[in-house]
Structure 1
């Protein structure tokens, strides 16, 4: 390890996707942090939202989820410090780099049977999918609608619905290929997310009954139509606004339907100490073949901007990642 490393910085000088490859000093871990040699970086819609709105400008670098290995001497619960064991971690900032210093509380060991790419997907997308079910208190036999069902997160949410005994998993996706993919993963029904009269189509897909739970990452019209399809005591969990349209909500309508709307933001669950046990369970389900990941596009650091563009186009399958080990 030399004194400097390659990293991607955001300057904002040429629009919201102005990423620059730079050389900068390898970070020195502060007390309570470990130094990780990065292998894979997850490309996230949340990064683009933060960059587009300016929320992340003070860091100068995209935040990220990473997989890699802890250098000897790192202190992480469950990690064999003397071997540089492989780990996944959630960074606060600066994940688009060869080396990252991360709070030890946000680092998790990876079992030998899971490779770096799958481990990153299971943490970055799988954990959010897991906590969607926890936040909605989904009971066996209940119906679940999943928007963005062909994406890295949505596809895992479909499989978790099957594993957890959902009565009917209804997958929303925008193209026939994506809907077929979701159905192949075990969805009981698939629906075109761009169709007119979507609320009615969701009820039809649920054998004529209103739905119990909706997981929405689209917002806009999809959010409104999905909420209209909720049964009494139905729950809607928001985990993104891919459409760019954050809907407003008439609260009195929640009272009339005894509905609840809540949100899931992964870092909150990580900081609450809830991620470790959930990730262990996801690794176990993956090892048994009950939850599988879809290989997504892989870019190098030099093409970080193209990686963000690929995600924004919403035509990809699987988790978009950056391979930091290639030059």
Structure 2
């Protein structure tokens, strides 16, 4: 089968198309014949060495894939064979024509939703819904959504008012992404490429404060937002490090303002994310969440897909598709 092998840690060029043996299902695994493989931004960080990789290269890269179950292990219900699903690997192995994954990672794709759309929407929506549930919005609050036009931010922006936001202030990088954030539901959008964007936020608020910050940027910017948050009930949910570092806020920063910070990470958080998958795909099938697919590229263009993501040019998800009928 064709697969994308990460030959070393480095730039997109380390992702190389090769012929490798197809996997067999372990006792508690399924094997799918992949139809759609989402390219996820955290994967670029793993490939580059910014995040630790769970195994040394060379290895078949990738986290998720969508398709029909072709094989099951001896401890897995054979009724899964032929079912349309999205699966998550144990950290690698998804950029391939055939993908082995734990059976307990299976999320069924509802009728009416394509494999491409299911692959594109699952990660973003599965993180956004637990974030919104954790925020416990009351129906009259102002929220700030960072990087609102793409990725997890795009799902947050689509769903925020349904979950109780009264006013959605968003950040996005550049005019095209700002326009997309508005189309997705943001009331006001600030360009976070402007190094003084937190000052622009203060002007936009016009004396009001932010009740909830969905922090995807982290770094020093997080501390600059604290004085713009609602004293005694403002809360910041940290789930991303687009700046390259987590939010630089201390306990004393929060205590003196009566604010809270929730770190949305770790095993318990990931368990919540996994459990949200079925609801996300059902919502997308019903038209309540736009998968925002930017492009579908052949599997052997994985390195090109990573370059596009790192340039932050796409307005939607890039999905890889293995060549049909090849084994």
TM-score, normalization by structure 1: 0.87
SS at match of 1:231: coil
Equivalent pairs counted in the alignment come to 319
Deviations 1:36-86 (A, max 9, x none): 111111112211222222621525232322111111557778x9525x111
State the partner residue of 1:90: 88
The aligned runs of 1:1-327 (5 Å cut-off) are 5-12=1-8, 15=11, 17-53=13-49, 55-56=52-53, 57-58=55-56, 60-71=59-70, 73=72, 80-82=79-81, 84-92=82-90, 93-232=92-231, 233-265=233-265, 268-270=268-270, 272=271, 275-276=274-275, 278-325=276-323
Residues 128 and 266 in structure 1, CA contact (< 8 A), matched pair in contact too: no
**Distance across 1 between alignment mates of 2:9 and 2:255:** 47
SS at match of 2:43: helix
Gap change, CA 1:13 and 1:147, over 3 Å in 2: closer
Deviations 1:106-145 (A, max 9, x none): 1110011111111112211111111221233333222211
Q: Can you give the 5+ residue segments of structure 1 that lack an aligned partner in the other structure?
A: none
Gap change, CA 1:120 and 1:22, over 3 Å in 2: same
Q: Can you give the 5+ residue segments of structure 2 that lack an aligned partner in the other structure?
A: none
Gap change, CA 1:15 and 1:315, over 3 Å in 2: closer
Residues 143 and 206 in structure 1, CA contact (< 8 A), matched pair in contact too: no
**Distance across 2 between alignment mates of 1:290 and 1:206:** 29
Give the drift of 1:314.
0.7
